[in-house]
Structure 1
Amino acid sequence: MYLAMHMSDGLVNAPTSAAFAVVAALGLAVCVAKARADLDSRTAPMAGLVAAFVFAVQMLNFPILPGASGHLLGGALVAILVGPWVGSICIALVLVVQSLLFADGGITALGMNITNMALIGVFVGYGVARALRGLAARGRGGLIATAFLAAFINTVVASLGFVLEYAVGGSPGLSLGTVFALMVGLHALIGIGEGVITALTVGSVAATRPDLIHLLRGLPKPELALRHRAEGSPA
């Protein structure tokens, strides 16, 4: 049995798939309603760029162990850049396109994949980043550390969504303890790669356009890019 964050068809039974499809639909409905307040002339283009970036990077796998690889989930990344409401929609759109056009994740498992990555992953990532906002406000280095930690934690917690769904309606084959150990252990390693990619991406945006980063809205000036120069970077 192959276990991955992009769940395939048949890993859980039909009632469980249907139940989490409802959860995903309700969650996304709330996100759509709330996202209107976050969308403006800066956020809308940024959301499109972020969704395209996550889609492209998710197509690239990085090795974590012999015979095992992982890829970006993007929850913390989108939450930090465009906020959790818009970010959840971005990840959900990526998952729908991957499932329907590239067979990456089962169609019957789409509700579970959206729940795990677009809802749990994004909101956990944002919650961690928000809790560490004081660190992020100290400068670009603090923002990079915040992005890394948020991405690492959101990856591990999102994998617990898979474990829950498997516990509710998983097909016979592996014990729940084995599934828990495999998913959490592997995604702790994947979380390191996720953290590095997220930190580098957020740090790059902060170096040029910190005003586009949702997490930094409302912070006092000078902006991070100016503060970074004052700490020793060339003007």
Structure 2
Amino acid sequence: MADTAIFDVDGTLVDTNYHHALAWSRAFGRYGITLPMWRIHRGIGMGGDRFVPEIAGREVEQAHGDDLRATWSEEFDRLIGEVQPFEGAHELLAEVKERGFRLVLASSGKAQHVETFLDLFDGKSLADGWTTSDDVEVSKPQPDLLSTALAAVDGASGVMVGDSIFDAQAAARLQMPTLGVRTGGFSVGELHEAGVLQVFDSLVAFRQALDGTPLARASR
């Protein structure tokens, strides 16, 4: 049994994945790089340090990596006012807390973006801690973010909740179970193949099924 619930933020609690894809498309376009939107979307969930070489190639990373990430941030800032929380985000987190879990909101996003997102569902009033890109050097699918999140609340054992295969891959490196929601656009089959134990169509459906998940009751 676990004592800590670690929730991804982008794409899991707030509906940002397609905003991210559009911002990356525009950033690449400013450097004359045209990539199909579906290809960009397939990489959403990785940190920006891994995203550019994975999606556009090492040559693009070497030539424009840092500039692309800065440009992406500018483009995303233009869209962030349109971001909304997913239905039931606050209620789900509140119930997980009531069931005795330490709660960490684990994001590798920029600090100013994370602050904005948490305010959308009143996450600061619920979380025992949260992370930003300032807290890790290497992002998902490496497990550093989850290790940092667990340590932030002195947790002994965690359960990861995310929307992407990269969440599951990071958790698997720590032998941490993952629960998934389809809000990021990955299919049920893809999430299961990546190691996700159970997949839910929405946060509302997830909350209704909590009794049948590893988040039924905390170990402490």
Q: Which structure shows the higher strand fraction?
A: 2
TM-score (norm 2): 0.31
The structure with the larger Rg is 1
